[in-house]
Amino acid sequence: MAKEIERKFLIKNENWKTLVKSQIQIKQGYLNDDPNRAVRIRIKDQKGIITIKGKTTGFSRLEFEYEIPYPDALALLKLCNQPIIEKTRYHVFENDLLWEIDIFEGDNKGLQIVEVELDAEDQKVQTPEWVGQEVTDDSKYYNLSLMTFPYTQWKK
Output the pLDDT for position 70.
97
Q: Which of 30, 66, 90, 142 is catalytic?
A: 30
User: Tens digit of pLDDT for each residue in 51-82?
Assistant: 998 887 777 888 999 999 999 999 999 999 98
Tell me whether residue 30 is one of the annotated catalytic residues.
yes
Assign domain 3-153 to its CATH superfamily: Hypothetical Protein Pfu-838710-001 (2.40.320.10)
Q: Which pLDDT score is estimated for 59?
A: 78
Query: Among 67, 143, 130, which Cα is nearest to 102's?
Result: 143
DSSP codes joined into one string, 115-154 = EEE-SSTT------TTEEEE-TT-GGGSHHHHHHS-GGGS
User: Mean pLDDT lowest for which of 18-22, 31-35, 126-130?
Assistant: 31-35
Query: Does position 1 have pLDDT exceeding 60, yes or no?
Result: no
pLDDT tens column, 22-41: 999 999 999 987 878 889 99
Whole-number Å distance between alpha carbons of 33 and 81: 8
Domain boundaries, the chain: 3-153
Cα angle 26-1-142, degrees, rounded to a multiple of 5 = 35
The proportion of the chain whose per-residue pLDDT surpasses 90, expressed as a percent, equals 77
pTM across the whole model: 0.91
Residues 43, 49, 55, 58: is their CA dihedral positive or negative?
negative
